[in-house]
Amino acid sequence: MATMIDLEGELREGSGKRSARRARREGKAPAVLYGAGRPARMLSFSSEILNRRLEDPTFRSRVLNIRVGDKSQPAIVKDVQRHPSRNAVLHIDLQRVRDEETIRMGVPITLLNVEASPGVKMGGSVSHLLNELHIICLPKDLPEQIEVDLAEVELDEMLHLSDLDIPEGVAVNERIHGATDHPVVSIALRRVAEVDEPDEDEELLDEEAEAEAAEGEEAPAEEESSGEG
């Protein structure tokens, strides 16, 4: 397991929208900590610190050491609600974890050695088809991320779930439920859409149609001139 991240918070009075709004006005992000057979606790964290932590893509796949006063307990992030237009956390859900109980998490899939890939060197473009992997493991076995090395991936090659190097003690949720072998990443040349060129017969028909239209426009003028004589 990766090193735990310390996150210092404080108890929040009350619950519901009024309590959450009060916390936000004070520059804090409201949170709830629950699980492990214990009562839920209403907490709040510095919005500035929390936003900075969330910039790290592995933050949501790490075991956090939640510190409140002189007490601490391990927990994981279960949900983060963000403001639709501002870079602000509206609410965060945290779940306590126990060493002996498995947890279900989504961990990011990170691509390594992209530029070193033979397929990329030949002009191929990388398509990251699966960005997150849902896993089941004990807290001690939780990986920050699943790494996919592209150093030997050729042009027109695709890697699937079965090609990934999954750490020991980690089960992939998709495999447990018998899902198909999902594609994870591929390298291929970008295809340029072809524009159909009109053939000679089509061009000839167009020219004839234009000529007939032109003759039709000139006919009334000729009739008028003959009538004046």
Domain ranges in the chain are 5-98, 104-188
Q: Encoding tokens for residue 84?
A: 């639709």
Average the pLDDT over 137-156 and give the result: 96
Confidence category of residue 54, pLDDT binned at 50, 70, 90: very high
Interatomic CA distance for residues 155 and 117, integer angstroms: 9
* The pLDDT value given to residue 157: 97
Query: In the chain, what percentage of residues exceed pLDDT 70?
Result: 79
| Homologous superfamily of the 104-188 domain (CATH) | Ribosomal protein L25, C-terminal domain (2.170.120.20)
Confidence category of residue 173, pLDDT binned at 50, 70, 90: confident
Average the pLDDT over 83-97 and give the result: 92
Burial of residue 215 (number of CB atoms within 10 Å: 0-12, 13-18, 19+): exposed
Classify domain 5-98 at the CATH class level. Answer: mainly beta
Residue 37, phi-psi category: left (phi > 0), alpha (psi -120 to 50), beta (remainder)? left
Average the pLDDT over 199-228 and give the result: 52
* The pLDDT value given to residue 141: 95
Interatomic CA distance for residues 105 and 23, integer angstroms: 28
Interatomic CA distance for residues 82 and 91, integer angstroms: 7
Global pTM?
A: 0.74
* The pLDDT value given to residue 194: 57
